[in-house]
Amino acid sequence: MNELQAKIMNVRELSLIFGSKSKAHEILYLLKDVKKVVRQGFYEPELAKVEEFCQQHNLTLAKSRFKVLLADETAFSNKGIKISGDDLRPGLFFVYISKNEREAWLASYYELTNDSEELGRLLGYPNCCIDFFIKRFTPDNPNLQLKPTNPYTNLAKRDKDQVLISHFPCSSNCPESIKMGKTFFNALFEFDQEYARELFLSLSD
């Protein structure tokens, strides 16, 4: 058992800190150096244990200056409006987590300035998928999910917390996204074999 596994026994345990298994995946990708920066959303009461985890694992956490009010609190939603971080209404703060302090704050800056291209690059998304997002995403068309044909790029079960990648692929068979999904799966499998097998079987349905 390596040092990381000794500190965190499995994905389910990590999800208790970060609120979902898909968020737990991304933190593992970060700790295992297959992602440089992750971007996640949390409500204020959820942040303390996330910040504590980051301090314990020498990760920089940069918090957005704004919050997002989701358009639909009852289901997975990509729609929302930005409000000031000082606004009393409950909203999601975005946090940008990295082993590299500069990259965490750069991600925060790119989000603040609505620079989707540079933010996407920093988050490690394929260039073809960044272009796809920039051209297709609008407030009226926030869900760019495609019909799944490959388990590595399958986003159809993200509302069930079952997903490997965190970006919208430009196609279900995007070679770069599949390569990324395989890298992420291998990282999960190395850490928690039973969970990784269950996830892959579900995404293959």
Tell me: do 81 and 147 sit in the same domain. Answer: no
Interval 148-203: pLDDT, tens: 789 999 999 988 999 999 999 999 999 999 999 999 999 999 999 999 999 999 99
The last residue of one of the domains, among 99, 123, 147, is 123
Same domain, 114 and 146: no
Is the domain of 143 the same as that of 166? yes
Do 22 and 43 belong together in one domain?
Answer: no
Q: Are 61 and 47 in contact (CB under 8 A)?
A: no
C-alpha 180: how far from chain center: 13
pLDDT at position 77: 45
Whether 27 and 56 map to the same domain: the answer is no
Task: Mark whether 133 and 193 lie in a shared domain.
Answer: yes
First to last CA, the chain: 32
**Which of 102, 123, 144 is the C-terminal boundary of a domain?**
123
Q: For residue 114, give the DSSP letter.
A: T
Provide mean pLDDT across the span 67-82. 64
Number of domains the chain is built from: 2
Q: What is the CA radius of gyration of the chain?
A: 16
Q: How confident is the model at residue 7 (pLDDT cuts 50, 70, 90)?
A: low
Over the stretch 27-60, which tens digit does the pLDDT of each residue have?
Answer: 999 999 999 999 999 999 999 999 999 999 999 9
Share of the chain above pLDDT 90, in %: 70
pLDDT at 126: 97
Buried b (16+ CB within 10 A) or exposed e, 77-104: eeebebeeeeeeeebbbbbbbbbeeebb
Q: What is the mean pLDDT of the chain?
A: 88
136 and 105 together in one domain: no
29 and 129 assigned to the same domain: yes
Q: Are residues 146 and 115 in the same domain?
A: no
Q: What is the mean pLDDT of residues 76-92?
A: 75
CA angle 36, 39, 41 (to 5 degrees): 155
Final residue of a structural domain among 92, 123, 154: 123
- For residues 198 and 132, membership in a common domain is answered with yes
Domain range spanning residue 58? 36-123
Same domain, 110 and 64: yes
Look up residue 163 and give its DSSP letter: -
